C-alpha cells in the first residue's frame, strides 16, 4: 500500500528483500515485517525479515568479495563513491520523500538529511586516495620504518532509525573507501531508505564490473538474530554501531571473543548552556535548531537547557514564542516544521517524563500534551522551574521537550553539564571567547557547538566520550576506524 506521502514512482523502486552478493531475494525465513508511516500509522511496505542464514550468507558474500575489493586501486573506489554521491544528489527529491514517509520528518529536513548523507559519500570519495602512511629512519639508525595502512576486513554496520540515509552513508562510505566489504543491518523501523541507497551502490558496482558482494543488506525484525551469529564468526573483523548505550554495551561484550575493531556512537544527554553574556535571540534560534531537528529525536538533540538565572526568563519566553510558531503535522504537508515521533511507545515515554516533571513542580510554558490527531505526535513543549534530578533532565528524552534549569556561575553551569554519564555534544552561548575555550577544556564532551545549534558536518570527527561511545565518524578520523597499520622494519 502506498500512502500519498510516498509517490508511486518512488515506491516502485524500493527493494524490500535481503541483498546478498549483488541480488535482492526474499528472506530465508519466508517472513516479512511491516514498515509504517509514523504520521498516519499506515503500512508502507512489507520487508523481508532476515534470519541467521541470511546473515551468514551475507558475511560469506562480504568475505568472498574482500580480497578483490581491497586490491582495487584507491582511485577506482573513489570514483565509485563519487558516482554514488552524484546519483544520491540527483535523486534528492525521491530519497527525501522516502525518509519522510518512513521516519516522519518534514520534507525540508529530509532534503537536508539527503545532502548531509551525500556529503559523507563525497568526503570519503575524496579521502579514498589519501591514506596517511609513514616512512622514516629508526631513531637508533639501525633500520628504516614503514607504516602501511590496510583495510580491517568485512564489517557489520548497524544503523539507527532516526537518520536512515546519513547514518548508513557515514559508515558505508569510509568502509568502502578503506577497502572493507560490508553487511548492513538497517533499523527495523526505517529500512526503506537504506535499501534504496544500497541499490544505487549495487548498480554502480555491477556497472563497473566490481565484486558484487561488497555491499550486502539484511533487514530484520530482530537485530540480535543478525548480530549474534555474525559477531561470533571470525570472518567478521569490524563492528560499527549507532544506537543506545545499553545495546552498544551488549554489542561490545559480544565483540570481545573475536577481539573485533568496534566503533560505537551511543546515547547523549546534551547540555545547552546559555551564559549571562549570550546573544539571547541567537541562543533561542540555536536552541530551536538543537532541540527540534527530527522532533528532538537525534543523539545530538539538546536535552537540558542550563541557563544563567539573570537571563533565564528572557531566554525561556523567547523559546516559548519560537515553539509557538512551529507547525506540527505530516512531514509531507507544506508548512510542517515538526513531524511525529517514530512510534507509539516513544510518545508514551515523553508523556511519562513530562508528567513526572509537572508533578514535581515544573511549569509548562507551552505544549505538554498530545495533539488531537492520528499518528505518533507530541506537542513542542517548554518547561521551566525544573529540578535537575528529574528524568526529563537525567535521561535522554528523544522528543520535542525543552526543560530549563537555572545556574548562578560558570562553575555551577559546567558542573551541571557534566553531571551525566554521557558526553556526546554540548552547546554553549556566550560572547566571551576565553570562556568558550575554557568550556572546550572543562565540559565532558566529544563535540562542542559555540554559538551554534548544529555541529554535524561530514568533514568533522563526530563522536563522544564517556558512555556516549568509542571512535569517530566523519572527517579524517572516520576512515581510520576501518584501517589497520602494518609496521615494516627494513
Ligand atoms: O542522531 C545521531 C546523528 C545526528 C547527526 O549526525 O547530526
Q: Does the Cβ of 69 fall within 6 Å of ligand 1?
A: no
Average pLDDT, the chain: 97
ipTM tops the 0.90 cut: yes
Q: What residue ranges of the chain are covered by domains with CATH 3.40.605.10?
A: 8-266+468-489
**Once rounded to an integer, what is the mean pLDDT over residues 452-471?**
98
Q: Are 35 and 44 in contact (CB under 8 A)?
A: yes
Q: Return the higher-pLDDT residue of 109 and 9.
A: 109
| Structure confidence at residue 261 as a pLDDT band (50, 70, 90) | very high
Residue range 270-450 in CATH 3.40.309.10: yes
Which positions ≥6 away from 263 have C-beta within 8 Å?
Answer: 238, 239, 240, 241, 463, 469, 470, 471, 472, 473, 481
C-alpha 314 to ligand 1 mean position (Å): 29
Atom of ligand 1 nearest to the CA of 294: 1
Q: Does the Cβ of 456 fall within 6 Å of ligand 1?
A: yes
Q: What residue ranges of the chain are covered by domains with CATH 3.40.309.10?
A: 270-450
C-alpha 453 to ligand 1 mean position (Å): 13
Residue nearest to atom 5 of ligand 1 (CA): 456
Residue nearest to atom 4 of ligand 1 (CA): 298
Give how far Cα 117 sits from Cα of 166, 247, 459, Å: 4, 24, 12
326-355 pLDDT per residue, tens:
999 999 998 999 999 999 999 999 999 999
Q: Does the Cβ of 398 fall within 6 Å of ligand 1?
A: no
pLDDT at 5: 63
96-151 pLDDT per residue, tens:
999 999 999 999 999 999 999 999 999 999 999 998 889 999 999 999 999 999 99
Residue 1 has pLDDT above 70, yes or no: no
pTM of the predicted protein model: 0.97
Atom of ligand 1 nearest to the CA of 456: 7
pLDDT at 300: 98
The cell numbers describing 59, all together, are 558475511
Q: Does the Cβ of 163 fall within 6 Å of ligand 1?
A: yes
Q: Does the Cβ of 266 fall within 6 Å of ligand 1?
A: no
430-460 pLDDT per residue, tens:
999 999 999 999 999 999 999 999 999 999 9
Residue nearest to atom 6 of ligand 1 (CA): 456
Atom of ligand 1 nearest to the CA of 462: 6
- Domain 8-266+468-489 is in which class? alpha beta
C-alpha 300 to ligand 1 mean position (Å): 6
Residue 2 has pLDDT above 80, yes or no: no
Distance between CA atoms of 376 and 339, rounded to whole angstroms? 9
Atom of ligand 1 nearest to the CA of 170: 6
- Mutate which of 120, 123, 299 to test ligand 1's pocket (most atoms within 8 Å of Cβ)? 299
**Once rounded to an integer, what is the mean pLDDT over residues 377-397?**
97
C-alpha 298 to ligand 1 mean position (Å): 6
pLDDT at 6: 83
- Mutate which of 103, 163, 396 to test ligand 1's pocket (most atoms within 8 Å of Cβ)? 163
Closest C-alpha among 398, 403, 375 to residue 37:
375
From the candidates 265, 396, 473, 481, which is the catalytic residue? 265
Q: Does the Cβ of 300 fall within 6 Å of ligand 1?
A: yes
Closest C-alpha among 273, 19, 268 to residue 162:
268
401-414 pLDDT per residue, tens:
999 999 999 999 99
The verdict on whether 199 is a catalytic residue reads: no
Amino acid at each position: 500500500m502506498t500512502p500519498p506521502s510516498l509517490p508511486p514512482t518512488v515506491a516502485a523502486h524500493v527493494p524490500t528483500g535481503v541483498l546478498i552478493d549483488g541480488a535482492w531475494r526474499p528472506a530465508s525465513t519466508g517472513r516479512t515485517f511491516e514498515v509504517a508511516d509514523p504520521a498516519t500509522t499506515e503500512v508502507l511496505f512489507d520487508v523481508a525479515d532476515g534470519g541467521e542464514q541470511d546473515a551468514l550468507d551475507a558475511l560469506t558474500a562480504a568475505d568472498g568479495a574482500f580480497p578483490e575489493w581491497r586490491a582495487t586501486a584507491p582511485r577506482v573506489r573513489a570514483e565509485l563513491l563519487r558516482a554514488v554521491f552524484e546519483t544520491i544528489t540527483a535523486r534528492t527529491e525521491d530519497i527525501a520523500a522516502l525518509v519522510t514517509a518512513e521516519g516522519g520528518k518534514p520534507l525540508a529536513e529530509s532534503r537536508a538529511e539527503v545532502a548531509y548523507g551525500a556529503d559523507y559519500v563525497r568526503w570519503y570519495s575524496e579521502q579514498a586516495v589519501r591514506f596517511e602512511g609513514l616512512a622514516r629512519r629508526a631513531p637508533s639508525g639501525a633500520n628504516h620504518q614503514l607504516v602501511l595502512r590496510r583495510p580491517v576486513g568485512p564489517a557489520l554496520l548497524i544503523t539507527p532509525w532516526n537518520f536512515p540515509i546519513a547514518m548508513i552513508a557515514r559508515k558505508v562510505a569510509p568502509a568502502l573507501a578503506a577497502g572493507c566489504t560490508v553487511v548492513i543491518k538497517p533499523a527495523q523501523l526505517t529500512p526503506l531508505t537504506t535499501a534504496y541507497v544500497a541499490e544505487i551502490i549495487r548498480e554502480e558496482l555491477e556497472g563497473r564490473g566490481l565484486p558484487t558482494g561488497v555491499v550486502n543488506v539484511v533487514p530484520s525484525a530482530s537485530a540480535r538474530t543478525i548480530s549474534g551469529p555474525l559477531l561470533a564468526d571470525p570472518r567478521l573483523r569490524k563492528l560499527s554501531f549507532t544506537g543506545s548505550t545499553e545495546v552498544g554495551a551488549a554489542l561490545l561484550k559480544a565483540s570481545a571473543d573475536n577481539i573485533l575493531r568496534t566503533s560505537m556512537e551511543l546515547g547523549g544527554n546534551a547540555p545547552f548552556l546559555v551564559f549571562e553574556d549570550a546573544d539571547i535571540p541567537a541562543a533561542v534560534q540555536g536552541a530551536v535548531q538543537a532541540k527540534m531537528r527530527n522532533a528532538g529525536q537525534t543523539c545530538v538533540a539538546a536535552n537540558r537547557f542550563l541557563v544563567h538565572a539573570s537571563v533565564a526568563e528572557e531566554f525561556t519566553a523567547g523559546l516559548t514564542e519560537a515553539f509557538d510558531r512551529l507547525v506540527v503535522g505530516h512531514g509531507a504537508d507544506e508548512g510542517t516544521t515538526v513531524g511525529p515521533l517514530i512510534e507509539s511507545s516513544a510518545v508514551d515515554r515523553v508523556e511519562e517524563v513530562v508528567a513526572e516533571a509537572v508533578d514535581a513542580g515544573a511549569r509548562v510554558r507551552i505544549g505538554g500534551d498530545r495533539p488531537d490527531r492520528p499518528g505518533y505526535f507530541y506537542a513542542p513543549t517548554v518547561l521551566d522551574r525544573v529540578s535537575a534530578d528529574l528524568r526529563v533532565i537525567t535521561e535522554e528524552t528523544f522528543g520535542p521537550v525543552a526543560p530549563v534549569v537555572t545556574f548562578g556561575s560558570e562553575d555551577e553551569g559546567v558542573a551541571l553539564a557534566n553531571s551525566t554519564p554521557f558526553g556526546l555534544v554540548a552547546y554553549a552561548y556566550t560572547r566571551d571567547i576565553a570562556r568558550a575555550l575554557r568550556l572546550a577544556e572543562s565540559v565532558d564532551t566529544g563535540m562542542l557547538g559555540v554559538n551554534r545549534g548544529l555541529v554535524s558536518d561530514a568533514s568533522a570527527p563526530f563522536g563522544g566520550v564517556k558512555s556516549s561511545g568509542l571512535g569517530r565518524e566523519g572527517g579524517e578520523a572516520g576512515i581510520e576506524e576501518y584501517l589497520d597499520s602494518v609496521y615494516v622494519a627494513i
